[in-house]
Amino acid sequence: MDAATLSLQGRTALVTGAASGIGRAIALSFAKADVIGLTRSLAREFAPHIRVNAIAPGPVETAMLSSAHMSPPWLAKEMDIPQHRFAHPDEIADTALFLASDLSRFYCGQVLGPNGGSVMP
């Protein structure tokens, strides 16, 4: 199944960064918290007809954040993740596909954090 074949009727996924993040990034932390609060508020308001959930991934290997361009402190952070790597973009896309599918029919107001174990509540 790919994103083009999914019907998104009644399903919404908001995407933000991980719940914990970069030090000294106060504005970013507030924005992330706002997305989480918005997710829960919208879910409460529109359920049961529309499911609203969020995705808050940990570090994702992108052009901006690739192992080849990382400083030693960032490489150390990568090795500290239990999976010993950053997520691949397709792994985050899989989370969005899950939320868009009927497999997630009982998910509402949730924040899913695919992060390789870097954040454990």
Q: What is the pLDDT of residue 4?
A: 43
Q: How far is CA 63 from the centre of its chain?
A: 18
Domain ranges for the chain, please list them.
11-112
* CB-CB contact of 22 with 117 (8 Å): no
pTM of the shown model:
0.77
Average pLDDT, integer, range 13-39: 74
* CB-CB contact of 98 with 71 (8 Å): no
Tokens 């990568």 — which residue? 78
pLDDT in tens, 37-52: 999 999 999 999 999 9
My answer on whether omega of the bond before 82 falls inside 30° of 0, hence cis, is no
pLDDT in tens, 79-107: 788 998 889 999 999 999 999 999 999 99
Q: What is the pLDDT of residue 6?
A: 45
Q: What is the pLDDT of residue 17?
A: 67
CATH class (in words) of the domain with range 11-112: alpha beta
